[in-house]
Homo-oligomer: A and B are copies of this chain.
C-alpha cells in the first residue's frame, strides 16, 4: 500500500489574484472544472474579499454558482472577515480558508491589524463556520520567515498552532509567503507542529529562491501529507518583482509519484490544464515540467551533453 499525499490547488485564487488582466469568469469556471477531474483534495476556488480590494476575484459568487462540483473535491475560498464569510456561506463554499500572519509587521502591512486583532476576528468567523458545519483551514503566513522582520521564532508559530488547535479547526497551513523556508527549518518546525495539531497540517511553499521542492521533500520526511501548489507555478512574489511565487503543482505531483507516494493525481490532465493556462495568461509559466515533460517521456534525437 502506497502512502497517500493530498494536493490542494491555489491557482484560481492565489494565482489569479495577482494577474494584471481580468480572467473572464467562464475561463475561471472552465479551469476549475478541468482541475476538478485531476484528483485534488481541495481546490481554493476564489476569495470573498471586497471586490474593491481584489478586483480580479470580484466574480466569486458567479464562479462558485457556475462550476460543476465533483463530490470528491472540497471547494474552498479565502475568507477575510465575517462579511466575506456570510457571502461564502450563501455561495455554498465547502471550506473557509482564513489567513493571518505570525509576523506582527507583516500582518499589519497586509491586513492592517495586530496579530491579536486578526486572531479575534478569525475567531468570530470560525464560530460562524462551525455553526454552519463548514470546515475551516487557517493559513499562518510568514511561518518560515518574514520579508520585513526576518526570521520568526519557532515558538511564535507553534503558539499560533496550539491556539488554533484548541479552536478545533479542520486544518492549518504553514505558509512560506515569500519563499524564505529552507529544508532544515521545515523539518524542525513541522515536526513540532505535527505534535501539537492532530488535524490536517498543510505546507504552502513558494519557489522564490529555488528551494520549493526541497522544502516539500523535507516536509514529506517530517510526516506532512498535504501540500498547496499552483498550476504552472502561477503567482508572483510582491517583494521580488519577476521572481516566481507558488510551487508548481505538476512538479510536486511528478516528484511525489516518482517517489512512490499515491497523490491520486492525474499528471497528464494536469499538464494539459497547465498548457491551457499558459494560453489563458498569455505568457510562459515558471513550470519546468511543462517545458521538459515527465521523465517517462523518452526521446530519439541525440545531442552533445553530459
Binding site for B on A (CB under 8 A): 14, 17-18, 53-54, 78, 99, 101, 106, 109-110, 139, 141, 145, 147-150, 175, 177-180, 182-185, 207-214, 216-218, 237-245, 248, 251, 254-255, 258-260, 287-289, 291-296, 298-306
Minimum CB–CB distance for A174 against chain B, Å? 12
Q: Give the chain B neighbours of A294 by CB distance below 8 A.
A: 209
Distance in Å: Cβ of A9 to nearest Cβ of chain B: 15
Contacts of A303 in B (CB 8 A): 110, 238-239
Residue of B nearest to A287 (CB): B210
Q: How many copies does the complex hold?
A: 2
Contact of A213 among B18, B139, B149, B210 (CB under 8 A): B210
Top 6 nearest A-B pairs (CB, nearest first) are: A109-B302, A238-B303, A240-B292, A210-B251, A213-B214, A182-B258
Residues of chain B within 8 A (CB-CB) of A287 are: 210
Residues from chain B with Cβ under 8 Å of A300 in the complex: 148
A178 touches B305 (CB 8 A): yes
**How far is the CB of A256 from the nearest CB of chain B, in Å?**
9
Q: A209 and B110 in contact (CB under 8 A), knowing A175-B306, A298-B148, A301-B239?
A: no
How far is it, in angstroms, between the C-alpha of A299 and the C-alpha of B99 when the chains are bound? 21
Residues in B whose Cβ lies below 8 Å from that of A207: 210, 288
Residues of B with C-beta under 8 A to A149? 298
Contacts of A306 in B (CB 8 A): 14, 78, 99, 101, 110, 139, 141, 175, 177
- Residue among B110, B150, B183, B241 making CB contact with A305, cutoff 8 Å: B110
Q: Which residue of B lies closest to A212 (CB)?
A: B210
Judge whether A184 and B259 touch: CB under 8 Å: yes
Contacts of A183 in B (CB 8 A): 217, 255, 259
B304 near A209 with CB under 8 A, answer no
**Contact assessment for B211 and A251 in the assembled complex, using a CB-CB cutoff below 8 Å:** yes
The chain B residue with its CB closest to the CB of A151 is B295
Asked if B145 and A209 make an inter-chain contact with CB atoms under 8 angstroms apart, the answer reads: no
Question: Known pairs A207-B288, A238-B301. 6 more at Cβ < 8 A?
Answer: A101-B306, A110-B306, A149-B298, A179-B288, A208-B288, A214-B216
* Chain B: CB-nearest residue to A181: B295
**What is the minimal beta-carbon distance from A190 to any residue of chain B, in angstroms?**
15
